[in-house]
A and B are shown apart, each in its own frame.
Chain A
Amino acid sequence: MKATEEIFSMLPAFKENDFPTIGTELELQLVDLQNFNLGMEAKDFLRRLSEVEHPGKVIPEITQSMIELNSSVHNSHASLVTELRNLRDILANEAYQAHIGICGGGTHPFQKWSEQRIYPTKRFVGVSENYGYLAKQFTVFGQHIHVAVPNGDDALYVCHGMARYIPQFIALSAASPFQQGVDTSFDCSRLAVISAFPLSGTPPWLLSWREFEDYFQKFHEMGIVKSMKDFYWDIRPKPEFGTVELRICDTPLTVQKAADLTGFAQLLVKWLLEKRPNLSQDIYSTYLINRFSGARYGLDAILIDPIAGLHVPLAEDILSTCDFLEEYANQLHCQFALQQIRKAAQMRDNDAVWLRRCFMDYKSLNDMVRGQTEIWRE
């Protein structure tokens, strides 16, 4: 009995929330301003940051050229933007003195994964031992969006309800066209790296939190996972926060865009929980194809709707989503974010487009990264 309790204690009780509050995590690149390659600076930079007051949290990530910025919990898009800008400015000031660059983007365009070094914490060392070279290849940079939901059952409902909209987030946030020194022809090449992990993918088709606890227990007993952190799903429930965590986005080039995507997710969750559209497991029959299309073609992708049996241009799909989210944007004071998402879909303009344009102008990946560090500070 005691052993069972210990197993259950690994999956915390789902924290209940009445309001769809939001928060975000941004994995950021630390670059050497001499050559604009990734720099092994996380440890010293985090030490410097710990000496100054700042909102949210900044924590290490798997390799020493990455940091993760965590916002606080917010009710509105506007307060999230304010906090992220404030945090960005503090980070920029510290980076000035340490003489390193910070930037967004889903991948660093020319870093060599073999040169990366694992950040020395017990968890990251464990990941490195488990996954071998994949751990260093995991030097990619994503945005994780948290939206609060009322309970565990709703969390699972939202996880599966959002599956239909995952390609929209991939295409809107795509900011990783270059990897290992070449144009990958993908708008988002970061996802291919994550797909290599055996625990990546989507959550199991379970809609009751009780069943999910059993599922987790089974995996825990088999020694596959220790906590929810070990599931690298595109979207997953986060019981201790009482949120659903969307993990599919590339880290955008600006904090404004990161906040806009978070606002967009908040509206979708609000709509899903209020309208409660019927869910069908059939959505997963084309999930991987649509996920691939979103990553490969960005906002020019064509989606396959397996339930309606239609091919839909992704940009048009985003625009029609924006239409039915309009009334929720008014309720949650999120009109500006929705307007920005609509504009991006209309112009077919994501960060991957910006990065390719920057590379065309400078004809150098090093200078492109310099451009990334500059736009991040704007």
Chain B
Amino acid sequence: MQVLPSFPLRISPVALLGLTLLLGLIGGEIARYTRILPRITGYIAVGILLGSGGLDIVTPSLLSYARIFVEVSLGLILFDLGRHLDFTWLKHDPGLLPTALTESTLTFIFIFLTLLFFGLPWQSAMIGGVIAVATSPAVVMMVAHDLSAEGPVTRRTLILTSLNNLISVVLFLVCIPLTQPDISWYLACGYILYRLLGSIALGLLMFCLTMSIGFLIGKRKENQFVLFSGMVIFTIGFALILHLSSILTVFTLGVAARNLDHKHYLIEVDFGWLARLFFILLFVVTGVQLQLRGIWIATFTVIAYLIMRFVAKSIGLWLFANKSRLTRQQTWALCFTLLPATETALIMSYKLFDFNPEYGYLLMTVITSVLAISYIISPIAAQIAFIKTNEAISNPHWRFMRTSQDPL
């Protein structure tokens, strides 16, 4: 029996995972001490530093080990995002749904044309456009949470993020079979129908199961916390077994929990500390996968992508701002809060890689660079937007960017 460890010592994936978390935490706090950067920027910077673009100490085995945690993190975030999609608000605010549809459509078209202009094949450009539609729920939630942002802009950001993520996922499921050159139309239709309707059906089935368990366990917060966490993990696993979209399935579960729980068996649960843990892990691991080399290879493509995305979303927002009776300040703020590019972009890019490695590689080069820049700029932009609209809790360090009517 071997008592002592064998040399040379090898660091285990578990230890590396813990180290990643701790370094992320430190990175986040260092960013906060700058008084301008949000914590997310620190998490991402640590990820980039640990990844192949930096010190290269995060191995593929760690990444695969961390993958389950990342999927759970994303699942919880998407479930929470689904719970922000309240149909009654869409019914009562005539500008909300048109805003979401317009900004999503314009973003898709603008990015598709931009990527075509810079020479990407139409299949990559199409998936690039689909990815651009979605705003990052993790960045929006994390920045809002860190600033204790509350108010109409924060709520509207979350429902618009919810809507554009839904549109993006649905578009992705429709477009992805089209990237395979030799796929027959009936196979493509079958794939789309199975993945789209199957994911929604599974989400609804899981909702029924959640309601039944919710009825049995009652409304104790502790119990419902475990119920939601367990159900999200179970749903992800089940969706993967059935080759369905785990993103759409979990999202459907969240939307159903918000809108179909007529007997109010479910309560609002704050994932709190657990969410913080998962957020750090998600951002650090996302940072690890980001590469800045695309910036040198396709500088203009990346810059054009970011600018056109901002322009498209802004046009969509301004077109219906009057209909939703938003002020100019609120509309500008939304233009910035919807800026963060989503972390699901990587999952979508990998999927394209599976379907068509050549197109996937081209897109991945652009997307990882876009994400890297977006993660640096967009949390700061969202932070400024929440502060300028007085929805963030006062912090003396922000005096330089505060207005005269700040809340105390």
Contacts from A to B (Cβ < 8 Å): 32-36, 39-41, 43-44, 47-48, 51, 64, 96-99, 115, 117-120, 125, 128, 362-364, 366-367, 370
B155, B268, B390, B393: which contacts A43 (Cβ < 8 A)? B390
Inter-chain contact A97/B408, CB cutoff 8 Å:
no
Q: How far is the CA of A32 from the CA of B268 in the complex (A)?
A: 12
Contacts from B to A (Cβ < 8 Å): 83-84, 86, 88-89, 92-93, 148, 150-152, 155, 218-219, 264, 267-268, 324-325, 327, 330, 390-391, 393, 405-408
Inter-chain contact A364/B407, CB cutoff 8 Å:
no
Inter-chain contact A40/B407, CB cutoff 8 Å:
yes
Q: How far is the CA of A33 from the CA of B88 in the complex (A)?
A: 10
Query: Mind listing 13 A-B residue pairs with CB under 8 Å?
Result: A32-B150, A34-B86, A43-B390, A44-B151, A44-B330, A97-B92, A97-B93, A99-B88, A117-B408, A118-B408, A125-B408, A364-B264, A367-B267
- Give the Cβ gap from B201 to chain A, nearest Cβ, in Å: 26
Inter-chain contact B325/A117, CB cutoff 8 Å:
no
Q: How far is the CA of A118 from the CA of B317 in the complex (A)?
A: 30
Q: Choose among A40, A115, A363, A367 the residue with the greatest number of B CB atoms under 10 Å from its CB.
A: A40
Q: How far is the CA of A135 from the CA of B236 in the complex (A)?
A: 47
Q: Which residues of B contact A64 (CB under 8 A)?
A: 407
Inter-chain contact B267/A40, CB cutoff 8 Å:
no
Inter-chain contact A32/B155, CB cutoff 8 Å:
yes
CB nearest to B408 among chain A residues: A118
Given A39-B151, A99-B89, A99-B155, also A34-B390 (CB < 8 A): no
Given A34-B86, A41-B151, A99-B86, also A117-B268 (CB < 8 A): no
Q: Which residues of A contact B151 (CB under 8 A)?
A: 39-41, 43-44
Q: Which residues of B contact A96 (CB under 8 A)?
A: 92
Q: Which residues of B contact A41 (CB under 8 A)?
A: 151-152
- Give the Cβ gap from A50 to chain B, nearest Cβ, in Å: 11
Q: Which residues of B contact A370 (CB under 8 A)?
A: 264
Inter-chain contact A366/B267, CB cutoff 8 Å:
yes
Q: Which residues of B contact A43 (CB under 8 A)?
A: 151, 390, 405
Q: Which residues of A contact B150 (CB under 8 A)?
A: 32, 39-40
- Give the Cβ gap from B162 to chain A, nearest Cβ, in Å: 11
Given A362-B264, A364-B267, A366-B267, also A120-B325 (CB < 8 A): no
Q: Which residues of A contact B152 (CB under 8 A)?
A: 41, 44, 98
Inter-chain contact B268/A366, CB cutoff 8 Å:
yes
Q: Which residues of B contact A128 (CB under 8 A)?
A: 408
CB nearest to A364 among chain B residues: B219
Q: How far is the CA of A96 from the CA of B92 in the complex (A)?
A: 6
Q: How far is the CA of A40 from the CA of B390 in the complex (A)?
A: 10
CB nearest to B153 among chain A residues: A44
- Give the Cβ gap from A180 to chain B, nearest Cβ, in Å: 16
Q: How far is the CA of A364 from the CA of B264 in the complex (A)?
A: 10
Q: Choose among B86, B89, B324, B406 the residue with the greatest number of A CB atoms under 10 Å from its CB.
A: B89
Q: Which residues of A contact B407 (CB under 8 A)?
A: 40, 64, 117-120
Q: How far is the CA of A47 from the CA of B329 in the complex (A)?
A: 13
Q: How far is the CA of A34 from the CA of B86 in the complex (A)?
A: 8
- Give the Cβ gap from B311 to chain A, nearest Cβ, in Å: 26
Inter-chain contact A48/B325, CB cutoff 8 Å:
yes
Further 9 A-B residue pairs, CB within 8 A, beyond A32-B155, A43-B405, A363-B219: A33-B88, A34-B155, A35-B268, A48-B325, A51-B325, A117-B407, A119-B407, A362-B219, A366-B267
CB nearest to B224 among chain A residues: A364
Given A35-B268, A366-B268, also A117-B393 (CB < 8 A): yes
Inter-chain contact A99/B92, CB cutoff 8 Å:
yes
- Give the Cβ gap from B62 to chain A, nearest Cβ, in Å: 36
Given A40-B407, A117-B393, also A97-B155 (CB < 8 A): no
Q: How far is the CA of A185 from the CA of B336 in the complex (A)?
A: 47
- Give the Cβ gap from B20 to chain A, nearest Cβ, in Å: 32
Q: How far is the CA of A363 from the CA of B215 in the complex (A)?
A: 12
Inter-chain contact B264/A120, CB cutoff 8 Å:
no
CB nearest to A371 among chain B residues: B264
Q: How far is the CA of A47 from the CA of B326 in the complex (A)?
A: 10
CB nearest to B152 among chain A residues: A44
A33, A39, A120: which contacts B406 (Cβ < 8 A)? A120
Q: Which residues of A contact B267 (CB under 8 A)?
A: 364, 366-367
CB nearest to B405 among chain A residues: A120
Q: Which residues of B contact A367 (CB under 8 A)?
A: 219, 264, 267
Q: How far is the CA of A115 from the CA of B393 in the complex (A)?
A: 9
Q: Choose among A32, A48, A98 the residue with the greatest number of B CB atoms under 10 Å from its CB.
A: A98
Which 9 A/B pairs are nearest by Cβ-Cβ distance? A117-B407, A96-B92, A99-B89, A35-B268, A118-B408, A40-B150, A44-B152, A364-B219, A363-B219
- Give the Cβ gap from A36 to chain B, nearest Cβ, in Å: 8
